[in-house]
Homo-oligomer: A and B are copies of this chain.
């Protein structure tokens, strides 16, 4: 990994602060263990991807991997986000790779199973 590589955890965004706080909390273990990682929002909240890219660019980053904090890919991830990325790449002269949404990784299915088992344990008590 190059020291100029940056990870962007991309959440949808919402005008509801509680919604964004949930994603900030979800991002914490990643931000605490991985250098040069930041959360960004697609819309309705700040920071935007472009804000993050501009800041990181100023600090020397030129390569970005965008990891969508989405369980599945809908219109946003198939169309809107790739278009935004293309625009930001041209505007800021950077290279951005859009990773699969986190829900495509089997880790998520296993985490969901563990969460449901915790819910069942509550039911048994």
- Chain A residues in the interface with B (C-beta under 8 A): 1-2, 5, 7, 9, 11, 14, 16, 18-19, 22-23, 25-30, 33-34, 37, 63, 65, 67, 69-74, 97, 99, 101-120, 123-124
The answer for the CA separation of A104 and B24 in the assembled complex, in Å, is 11
Prevailing SS type, chain A contact patch = helix
Task: Count copies of this chain in the complex.
Answer: 2
The residue of chain B having its C-beta at the shortest distance from the C-beta of A18 within the complex is B73
The residue of chain B having its C-beta at the shortest distance from the C-beta of A120 within the complex is B1
A115 and B107 contact, Cβ closer than 8 Å, known pairs A19-B72, A19-B73, A71-B23: yes
22 example contacts (A-B, Cβ-Cβ < 8 A) are as follows A1-B120, A1-B124, A2-B123, A5-B120, A7-B116, A7-B119, A16-B74, A18-B72, A22-B72, A22-B73, A23-B72, A25-B109, A26-B71, A27-B109, A28-B109, A29-B110, A30-B116, A33-B113, A34-B113, A34-B120, A102-B111, A111-B111
